[in-house]
Amino acid sequence: MEYIKCERLDATDLWRIADEARVEYWPENTFPIDMEKILEIKLQLNIDFIHELKSNFDIIAFLKNDMSGIFIDHTYYMKDNLSNPLRFALAHEMGHYILHRDIYSKITFNSPQDWQDFTISMPESEYSAFECQANEFAGRFLVPRDILKQHIKEAARTIESANLKEFLKRNPYMVLPRVTPPMRRYFGVSDEVIEKRVQREKLWPPRL
């Protein structure tokens, strides 16, 4: 797998690509973003299900070798929970679809085991870049900075009205989990994703 090379993209590049993709594939600009609609209707990717994908291989979804669709863990798909990991996992696979066509053109796999074998054999530095880029794409795609910033301003007003300004200054990352639930519900992602985005976007702690 020494021939597998993941193009190095910095955060600015990934954010630009994610923002452009959102404008193109989700002009509705409503949230949570309907990833299933984007994948099946706009990108023409088939969604197929595998039972116990997560329990057997510790993955929720993966992009097919020929990039014609995505395999998804059936259990996660059936969950009706906006905070479950499925939306992020699908956006992650969309990131691979957009960012890593060159890598997929060089590999062949026909099963979850083949996919797992590929990821294990991939050079560590390349695999790390491969996954980190898809994660960063997914986070920015699902949680746009400008809208997140508005939510942070609302959280700041709540903190100020609750007389927690000094506590925020002393313990900003103890306050953060207390204000993420409304954002989590709005964007349809986990608290962890929101916490990651506000740090990556340098929006926390807010200035009061």
pTM: 0.94
- CATH architecture of the domain covering 11-142: Orthogonal Bundle (1.10)
pLDDT by residue, tens only, the chain of 208 residues: 556 788 999 999 999 999 999 999 999 999 999 999 999 999 999 999 999 999 999 999 999 989 999 999 998 888 765 447 899 999 999 999 999 998 888 888 878 998 888 888 888 888 999 999 999 999 999 999 999 999 999 999 999 999 989 999 999 999 999 999 999 999 999 999 999 999 999 999 998 7
Give domain limits for the chain.
11-142, 145-200
Distance, CA of 74 to CA of 48 (rounded, Å): 9
Distance, CA of 29 to CA of 122 (rounded, Å): 36
Q: Within 10 Å of residue 22's Cβ, how many Cβ atoms?
A: 19
> Can you say how many angstroms the Cα of residue 45 is from the centroid of all Cα atoms in its chain?
18
Helix (H) or strand (E) holding 48: strand 46-50
